[in-house]
Amino acid sequence: MSNTFKELGTLYKEGDLLSKLIFILSGIYLTTSLTSMVLSLFDSSVLLRFIFALPANIAEAVSMPWSLVTYMFYHEQFIHFIFNILMLYWMGKLFMLSYQPRDLVNLFIFGGLVGGLFFILALNLFPSLSAYTNYTTLDGSSAAIMAVLVAAAIANPEMPVKLVLLGEIRLKWIAMAFVALSVLVDYKENAGGCFAHLGGAVAGYLFGYHMRKGTNITQWIGRIIDFLSNLVDKLANLLKGNKSPKFKVVYNNTHGKAADESYNMRKKAQNEAIDAILDKIKESGYSSLTDEERATLFNASKK
- What confidence score (pLDDT) does residue 275 get? 75
The pLDDT tens digits of the residues spanning 15-25 come to 789 999 999 99
pLDDT reading at 291 higher than 60: yes
Domains of the chain: residue spans and CATH: 48-216 (1.20.1540.10), 222-302 (no CATH)
For β-strands 137-138 and 160-163, DSSP reports them as unpaired
Distance CA 188, CA 280 (A): 43
| Lowest mean per-residue pLDDT among 172-176, 258-262, 273-277, 286-290 | 258-262
- What confidence score (pLDDT) does residue 161 get? 86
Mean pLDDT of 140-149: 96
pLDDT band at 298 (very low <50, low <70, confident <90, very high): low
- What confidence score (pLDDT) does residue 96 get? 92
Rounded alpha-carbon distances, angstroms, from residue 115 to 90, 128, 248: 20, 19, 32
- What confidence score (pLDDT) does residue 181 get? 85
pLDDT reading at 237 higher than 50: yes
Contact 145, 179 (CB under 8 A): no
Mean pLDDT of 235-255: 61
Q: Does residue 141 or residue 272 have the better pLDDT?
A: 141
The pLDDT tens digits of the residues spanning 172-207 come to 999 999 898 887 777 666 778 889 999 999 999 999
pLDDT reading at 63 higher than 50: yes
- What confidence score (pLDDT) does residue 18 get? 92
SS3 199: helix
- What confidence score (pLDDT) does residue 247 get? 47
Burial status of residue 95 (CB atoms within 10 A of its CB: 0-12, 13-18, 19 or more): buried
- What confidence score (pLDDT) does residue 295 get? 64
- What confidence score (pLDDT) does residue 191 get? 77
Mean pLDDT of the chain: 83
Segment of 43-57, 240-254, 273-287 carrying the highest mean pLDDT: 43-57
| Lowest mean per-residue pLDDT among 87-101, 189-203, 279-293 | 279-293
pLDDT band at 301 (very low <50, low <70, confident <90, very high): low
